[in-house]
C-alpha cells in the first residue's frame, strides 16, 4: 500500500512540477498536496524528500520544499555537468553493453521516432527521459547512474520552462518528420556509436547532443543563459 501510494504521489507531483503548475520559487505545501491527492502525508513527505535528492526540489530550513529558482549560472553548471557525466556514461556503455542493452536502445529509437511523427509529446518526452537514464544504467556504475539521474531531472526544469518544444500552444506543430529532428538524429548517432563499441565517438556524440540542447535554449531565451565557447570540450 505504501509503495503504491508513493508511486502515485511521485507521478502526480512530478507532473505538477514539469507541467509548470508550480513556478520557480514556489513552495510545495505537504498537507495541501496530500489532501489534493487524497493520500496521507507520509508518502507525500517521502516523495518530496526523493525529489530533493533528485534535484527537482530544494529545502529551506524551517520553511519546507520549494521549486528551485532558475538562474543562468545554475543552468550553465547543470548542463556542463550533464555533458561530462553522460558523456562518460556513454563511453563506458560502449564497452560493456549487452545484446539486450542494444535491443532496448534500438527499440527506444524506434518508439521515439514514432511518437515524434505522431505528435505524441508526452510519450516522446517519456522515451527521451528513459533513453538518457538507460545509458547511465548500462555503464553499470551506481554512482554515475545516481548523479546522472539527479542532473538530468534538474536540467528538465530548464527544458520544460525554456525550450519552445515543450511550451507551444500547439505542440503537434513541432512534431512532424523525425528525420528533421536534431534530437532524434543525435540519439541515433549515440546508439550507433555504442553498438559499434566506439567509446570515444559515443562520448563525443552525447556531449554534442547536450550542448545542442543548452545552446538552443540559450539562443531562444537570452535571459536563460549564455553560450560559452568550448563549453563542453574535454580541456575545460
Task: Give the long-range contacts of residues 73-77, CB within 8 A, separation 24 or more.
Answer: 75/158, 75/214, 75/217, 75/224, 75/225, 76/214, 76/225, 76/226, 76/228, 76/231
pLDDT > 60? residue 203:
yes
* Contact present, 109 and 187 (Cβ < 8 Å): yes
Q: pLDDT band for 232, please (50, 70, 90 cuts).
A: very low
Topology alike, domains 2-66 and 72-224: no
Cα–Cα distances in angstroms (integers) from residue 23 to residues 26, 42, 58, 74, 107, in the given order: 6, 24, 13, 16, 35
pLDDT > 70? residue 91:
yes
**At 139, is the secondary structure helix, strand, or coil?**
coil
Q: pLDDT band for 164, please (50, 70, 90 cuts).
A: low
CATH architecture of 72-224: Up-down Bundle (1.20)
Where are the chain's structural domains?
Answer: 2-66, 72-224
pLDDT > 60? residue 236:
no
Q: Which three cell numbers stand for residue 68?
A: 528551485
Distance CA 209, CA 151 (A): 15
Cα–Cα distances in angstroms (integers) from residue 22 to residues 15, 177, 234, in the given order: 10, 32, 36
The yes/no answer on whether domain 2-66 falls in CATH 1.10.110.30 is: no
Q: 10 Å Cβ neighbour count for 187?
A: 25
Q: Tell which residue, 177, 178, 167, 176, has the closest CA to residue 216.
A: 167
**Placement of cell 556509436 in the chain:** 193
pLDDT for res 221: 47
* Full-model pTM: 0.80
* Contact present, 30 and 41 (Cβ < 8 Å): yes
Q: 10 Å Cβ neighbour count for 104?
A: 18
pLDDT > 80? residue 126:
yes
Query: pLDDT (tens digit, 9 = 90+) per residue, 17-69?
Result: 877 788 888 999 999 999 999 999 999 999 999 999 888 899 988 788 999 88
Amino acid at each position: 500500500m505504501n509503495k503504491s501510494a508513493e508511486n502515485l504521489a511521485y507521478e502526480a507531483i512530478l507532473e505538477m512540477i514539469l507541467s509548470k503548475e508550480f513556478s520557480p520559487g514556489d513552495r510545495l505545501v505537504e498537507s495541501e498536496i496530500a489532501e489534493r491527492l487524497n493520500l496521507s502525508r507520509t508518502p507525500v513527505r517521502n516523495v518530496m524528500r526523493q525529489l530533493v535528492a533528485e534535484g527537482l526540489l530544494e529545502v529551506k530550513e524551517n520553511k519546507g520544499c520549494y521549486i528551485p529558482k532558475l538562474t543562468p549560472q545554475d543552468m550553465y553548471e547543470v548542463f556542463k555537468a550533464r555533458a561530462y557525466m553522460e558523456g562518460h556514461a556513454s563511453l563506458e556503455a560502449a564497452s560493456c553493453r549487452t545484446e539486450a542493452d542494444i535491443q532496448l536502445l534500438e527499440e527506444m529509437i524506434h518508439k521515439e521516432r514514432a511518437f515524434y511523427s505522431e505528435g505524441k509529446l508526452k510519450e516522446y518526452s517519456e522515451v527521451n527521459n528513459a533513453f538518457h537514464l538507460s545509458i547511465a544504467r548500462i555503464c553499470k556504475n551506481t554512482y554515475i547512474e545516481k548523479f546522472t539521474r539527479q542532473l538530468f531531472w534538474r536540467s528538465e526544469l530548464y527544458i520544460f520552462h525554456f525550450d519552445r518544444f515543450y511550451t507551444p500552444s500547439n505542440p503537434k506543430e513541432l512534431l512532424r518528420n523525425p528525420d528533421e529532428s536534431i534530437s532524434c538524429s543525435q540519439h541515433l548517432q549515440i546508439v550507433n556509436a555504442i553498438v559499434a563499441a566506439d567509446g570515444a565517438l559515443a562520448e563525443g556524440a552525447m556531449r554534442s547532443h547536450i550542448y545542442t540542447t543548452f545552446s538552443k535554449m540559450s539562443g531562444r531565451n537570452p535571459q536563460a543563459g549564455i553560450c560559452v565557447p568550448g563549453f563542453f570540450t574535454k580541456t575545460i
